[in-house]
Amino acid sequence: MSERINVKICDIESKMTAIFRGTGMTEEDAKVITDALIDAEASGVESHGIIRLKAYVDRIAQGSISVVPDIRIKGDGVALQVDGGNGLGQIVMSKAVDKCIKTAKEYGVAALTVSRSNHFGTAAYYANKMAASGCIGFVATNAGSTMAPFGGMETLLGTNPFAVAFPASNQIFCADMATSSVAKGKIRIYEKEGREIPLGWALNVNGEDTQNAEEAIKGILLPMAGYKGYALAMAVDAVCGLLSGANLSCEAPSMFQTDQLSNVGHFIVAIDIAHFIPLEEFEKRGQTWFERLKSCKTRPGMRVKIPGEPENERRAAACGSLNLLAETAAMVDEYSNKILEKKMGIG
């Protein structure tokens, strides 16, 4: 079992911002990417948190991510297209989501495609932002192929996650899920911790069920709920790849292939609630509905929660610190020292 250590959020935040600034990134963009990664970590989604810093910085160093992307937004009315300029997904999405919200506030709805982008972290980060602005938000992304079609043994689809969020009076509903049985990053965490993965998550390279995390990383992810997850993964690829002009999952390299351009696509829809019904009424009815669901009779030892609630509880429990894998904390220190010593070789 890997060792874990507690680190202060303010300390790791300062180091990470300095690392991204050291690559040539603007202060604003460095703070955007740092905030997104720390939010994922604090919410318990470690697979999309600070551990991703290494791949991002390595890709920048290799020239496969533009550190100062030329992000362009075009389109009339409610249909918008974003060229991400090969920037980090979090930076591209920060601008894309802001534009989508602004357009929805004007017209009631907005749909936006993104091409020439990269891994963007958790979809929930952006869906929550839309919900907090009084919208129903939908966010999806495709990814390099790691999952087989239902019944297949070739990795031709990505984990292709999506998130949906909307506000109620006292909390936000946010469902964020991969269309695979699990995010591949979660298997990497299991591998680092020396733990077996549950059956049904993945196959080895020979197409056999495996509980070995290392075999699963080299092997094939299985779709969530069998053919249903397969169908959803295709639907995400359609709106993120076909509709945007970005790569399909089967065309995109792994984010760990640091010398290749990803060109993954994202898809965003924002619905401004107030264009349909008074926001206060929507939120009040939503909260009443949530409380009805949460107060239902439960099975022994179980508790009903609203999607997004477990993540919010973890954020609240963080209390200004994060419990990191020692290996992850050491990686941040290593890259921080490289920046200080000006040995990154970037530029």
Mean pLDDT by 10 residues, the chain (347 residues): 91 97 97 98 97 96 96 97 99 99 99 99 99 99 97 96 99 98 91 94 95 96 97 99 99 90 98 99 99 98 98 95 97 93 58
d(CA 323, CA 271): 36
pLDDT score, position 343? 55
Beta bridge partners of 323: 6
Of 256, 313, 339, 315, the closest CA to residue 38 belongs to 315
Contact 19, 335 (CB under 8 A): yes
CATH topology of domain 4-180+223-279+308-340: Ribosomal Protein S8; Chain: A, domain 1 (3.30.1370)
What pTM did the predictor assign? 0.95
pLDDT score, position 228? 98
pLDDT score, position 149? 97
pLDDT score, position 347? 47
Contact 50, 185 (CB under 8 A): no
